[in-house]
Amino acid sequence: MGWLCALAALGAAPFAPASAQSLVLERCRLEAEGVPAAFARCGTLVVPEDPAAPAGSTVEIFVARIGALSATPKADPLLLIAGGPGQSTVDFYLQLRGAFEQARRDRDIVLVDQRGTGRSATGFTCTTPDDLALDTAGPEALERVIDDCQSALKHDPRFYTTSVAVQDLDRVRGALGVASWNVYGVSYGTRVAQHYLRRFPDRVRAVVLDGVVPPELALGPDIAREAQRALTQIFARCAADAACGARFGDLSAHFRELLARLDTAARAAPGSRPPLSSLELRALVRFMSYSGATVALLPVLLNEAYGGNYAPLASHAKTTLRDLPESLSFPMSNSVTCTEDVPFITADSTQGLGDTYLGTAIVDALKLICGRWPTGARDDDFKQPVVSDKPVLLLSGDNDPITPPTYAERVVTGGLTNTKHLIGHDQGHGLVAVGCVPRVLRAFLEHPAPAALDGGCLDAEPATPFFLSLLGPAP
């Protein structure tokens, strides 16, 4: 079968519920670097690589079930879906497990590493440079990484997309003997959660979308726009804070000058260059904008570099950019992005990116990757808004640099009719671990009636105070 014919068959294959399989779970220890381990019951579910060819090659899906604190847990567990695309859900849980302890009082928590990620990546891994980032990778280096990665894969990258992943999730549900469950998704995981709701509405009791991605959105061009919006708000918050404004002055102007200085320094002799480039600074600022804790450091780090002390900023850049390839699956991320986003980027959508501090670097890198990476399986209705009356709790940070509150409002107007949208003031990407949100999450799961949910406690959650020196914030 030819390439185009194969993809046509993928798109046209009729959806059919997977037959139930058995899944034996055994006591296990879940570990990730730098965080405490957790005990669970774990197992591996073998599923077809291509759902339309059940007799063909197979993929192993890792599943962990964290027992509820109650001796008599509710029958509907909470399924977690991580972001990325490409993050391990198990690792995500281990990093933020405290945020889900309230929900675990009454319900088991189910963790499924999506195919191609974490413990479900057998045969779908490749080696990438320690500092690989779309913001900083040059075209030639990126081309080599893409080609070397594809040659290392033992599975077909066309089958590592959201449309296939939701079928894996429902196979897991059936194998666990769960009639219906609650679904939490964060960032890219909200795309998976919405598509699962679309495909399997009768298997969903309630949904939590944290950092919402509308199905119809083509992620790429908006990354630079939203990053610029968030940074402008961060600088404005510092200026409005008496201590921060007095200490650091016009951060926006200083940031622009710092970028220009680093651009000029790149043309100087190697021994006289600062220890980071303007591209690395742009990438660092974007990633630090995600979290309130790292946002608090931005003014002092930029101020130190502006004054000539680049070491603290360079140290943060080295650590942050080095950890990126380890936390996300490069091939799985490519399969998702090259199927679900890049084909929908229009020329009009990239206009004005030159006015942002990130420019067109990310879109250029994505287009380069997807020019060399295959487009995969995508359901015909995948890019349409999800229509449902299931109870949905939406969580947004108003300083989120990639999934702003307006994205959550789009899925509400698009077809989710039974919702509650909570917005964290001066908060970033992902709210589940912020202040009272774990308690709100449990309340929603206990009584999934969005209209009656009281989320007012989130309004009282303060932003992390800005550091006024490298030693910390003011007393």
Please count the residues of the chain. Answer: 475
Identify whether the C-beta of residue 359 lies closer than 8 Å to the C-beta of residue 227: no
Query: Residues 6 or more apart from 475 whose CB is under 8 A from it?
Result: none
Identify whether the C-beta of residue 271 lies closer than 8 Å to the C-beta of residue 294: no
Kindly tell me the number of DSSP H helices and DSSP E strands found in the chain: 17, 9
Angle at 192 between CA 186 and CA 193, to 5 degrees: 70
Identify whether the C-beta of residue 34 lies closer than 8 Å to the C-beta of residue 53: no
DSSP tag of 2: -
DSSP string, 264-305: HHTTS-GGGS-SS-HHHHHHHHHHHTT-HHHHTTHHHHHHHH
pTM above threshold 0.85: yes
What value does the CA radius of gyration of the chain take, rounded to a whole number of Å? 22
Alpha-carbon distance 236 to 297, whole Å? 15
The predicted pLDDT at position 211 comes to: 98
Domain that holds residue 257: 1-12+20-475
Query: Residues 6 or more apart from 299 whose CB is under 8 A from it?
Result: 238, 244, 247, 248, 251, 466, 467
- Strand-pair partners of 28: 40
The predicted pLDDT at position 254 comes to: 98
Place of tokens 């302890």: 101
The predicted pLDDT at position 473 comes to: 86
Cis previous bond, 312, omega within 30: no
State the total domains in the chain. 1
Helices (H), 153-220: 162-176, 188-199
Alpha-carbon distance 450 to 278, whole Å? 45
Nearest to 79 by CA among 163, 161, 190: 190
CA distances from 296 to 149, 253, 256, 286, 369 (A): 37, 18, 19, 13, 34
Alpha-carbon distance 331 to 149, whole Å? 7
Query: Residues 6 or more apart from 184 whose CB is under 8 A from it?
Result: 78, 79, 80, 81, 193, 207, 208, 210, 432, 441
H/E run at residue 44: strand 35-48
Nearest to 100 by CA among 214, 166, 186, 220: 186
- Strand-pair partners of 45: 61
Name the 3-class secondary structure at 328: coil
Nearest to 394 by CA among 199, 225, 186: 186
* Encoded amino acid at 284, one letter: L
- Taking each helix axis from N to C end, the angle separating 330-340 and 139-152, rounded to the nearest 10 degrees, works out to 100
Question: Could you list the pLDDT tens digit for every one of the 475 residues in the chain?
Answer: 333 333 333 333 334 444 567 899 999 999 999 999 999 999 999 999 999 999 999 999 999 999 999 999 999 999 999 999 999 999 999 999 999 999 999 999 999 999 999 999 999 999 887 666 666 667 888 899 999 999 999 999 999 999 999 999 999 999 999 999 999 999 999 999 999 999 999 999 999 999 999 999 999 999 999 999 999 999 999 999 999 999 999 999 999 999 999 999 888 878 778 999 999 999 999 999 999 999 999 999 999 999 999 999 999 998 887 777 668 999 999 999 999 999 999 999 999 999 999 999 999 999 999 999 999 999 999 999 999 999 999 999 999 999 999 999 999 999 999 999 999 999 999 999 999 999 999 999 999 999 999 999 999 999 999 999 999 887 6
The predicted pLDDT at position 135 comes to: 62
DSSP tag of 388: B
Nearest to 106 by CA among 442, 475, 455: 442
> CATH number, domain at 60?
3.40.50.1820
Alpha-carbon distance 29 to 44, whole Å? 14
Query: Residues 6 or more apart from 220 whose CB is under 8 A from it?
Result: 337, 341, 342, 345, 349, 362, 363, 366
Place of tokens 């199927």: 339
